[in-house]
Structures are given as C-alpha cells and as structure tokens.
C-alpha cells in the first residue's frame, strides 16, 4: 500500500465515523429489526424501502428531540425494513417472498 492509499483510507474512515454518528438513532431503531425478506439482522446492512434516502436525509437535518422525530417515525412506519441485498433484488424486480 502506498502512502497516499493509506492516507486516503484514513480520510474514508473519518467520513464513515461522522456519518455513523449522525445515523445513530436510525441505527438504534434498526438494532432490533431484521430484513423482512431474508431475516438479515446486521444493522449496517439494513435500509428502509422505498424511502431510505429521504428518511436518512431528514433524520440528519432534524434534532433528536422526540417531537422532531415523530414525522420521520411516521414515514418509517410506512416503509419496509430490508437488507441491501434484498433491496437490489426488489429494484431489479426479482420475485421475493416474505418469510416474516
């Protein structure tokens, strides 16, 4: 590994950490959830479907007080929790049957 590559990875790690902090309550919400299709329970592999991006953007822009979270939670309730694998299958229109 060159010096530059090492440096680049350090920056990437820093960005990841900052992102994790902002996502912390979303991840706490997902901590006891699992993919509705395959049962994957690894929190970092879980996403909301179909509004994952919107939910995460809004959750980052709002504070953490209960009242501010309520509209996000409402949105979350209309979404399914799936893993990234199943999401790409859904997006590619591959037939999936729910096991839970």
Residue in 86, 94, 72, 76 with CA at minimum distance from that of residue 35: 86
Q: Tell which positions 22-51 bind Zn ion, by CB under 5 A.
A: 35, 37-38, 40
Residue 83 found at the interface with Zn ion (CB under 5 A): yes
Q: Which of 87, 90, 26, 21 is nearest to 55 (CA)?
A: 26
Which residues face 48 on adjacent strands? 81
Q: Which is nearer to Zn ion, 38 or 58 (CB)?
A: 38
Residue 69 or 83 having the CB closest to Zn ion: 83
Q: Provide the binding-site residues for Zn ion, judged by CB under 5 A.
A: 35, 37-38, 40, 83, 86
């Amino acid at each position: 590994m060159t010096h530059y590559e090492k440096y680049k990875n350090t920056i990437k790690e820093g960005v990841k950490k900052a992102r994790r902090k902002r996502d912390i309550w979303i991840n706490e919400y997902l901590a006891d959830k699992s993919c509705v299709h395959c049962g994957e329970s690894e929190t970092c592999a879980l996403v909301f479907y179909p509004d994952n991006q919107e939910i995460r953007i809004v959750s980052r822009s709002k504070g953490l007080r209960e009242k501010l979270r309520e509209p996000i939670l409402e949105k979350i309730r209309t979404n399914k929790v799936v893993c990234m694998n199943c999401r790409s299958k859904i997006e590619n229109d591959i037939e999936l049957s729910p096991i839970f």
